[in-house]
Amino acid sequence: MKSAGVKVFSFIIVLALATLACAVPGVDALLNPLPKDDFSSDGSGWGTGTDSQSLVEYANGGLQMIVYTPFYITWSTPDVEVYENVHIEASVTNTSSDPEALFGIICDAQTTTSAFYYVGVSPDGYYAFIEKYVALDDVFLKEGTSDVISASAGSMRIGLDCGGGALTLYVNGQQIDTVATSTYTSGSVGLFAATDDQESGVNVTFDDFVVTKLGE
């Protein structure tokens, strides 16, 4: 009987907290914090690993990604939580040898498949909004070039609005472009790096990753 009483009492507490989170502004953010990471600890939860195709490791106070294989993408996420209608930002230091290396942010990653949006920039000023499918070719939703990107090729702050039926890319706080899409509406978030035709052409380190709700 005692055990049952404890379970009922615990359920009441959980229910009360859930009700409070819905009723009081700011409580939900305390109970369900969005990801934020300065990569000062290598135990913060990001997926890491190294093989013949790519490297993803904590290094020098950041999350480093090197891609060895041409036309290959590697990515990492901080958790498998599902988010929707979020703004994602990360700083990136780029030491890639390939000016067409692509790196940036992923969102709406489906937890049971390798399907997601990835939006990235290249040192030469190129940018792309890409939709990744399972067992199908990736779809380039929109692409272009920007002097804002090429002017900051070695170090920049990348931002992405993901939600409300659109993706919007920012570099150093300036809006670069936007595209309407609604294939995915929620999912995990993360970071990626991808090569063009050069072996070992991509070497980037991400830092100061933060996720906020759109409009905050």
Per-residue pLDDT of the chain (216 residues; tens, 9 = 90+): 334 443 333 334 334 444 444 445 454 444 468 999 999 999 899 999 999 999 999 999 999 999 999 999 999 999 989 999 999 999 999 999 999 999 999 999 998 888 999 999 999 999 999 999 887 889 999 999 999 999 999 999 999 999 999 999 999 999 999 999 999 999 999 999 999 999 999 999 999 999 999 987
Q: What are the boundaries of each domain within the chain? A: 1-32, 34-213
CATH 3.30.300.30 fits 34-213, yes or no: no
Beta bridge partners of 75: 192
Q: pTM for this one? A: 0.85
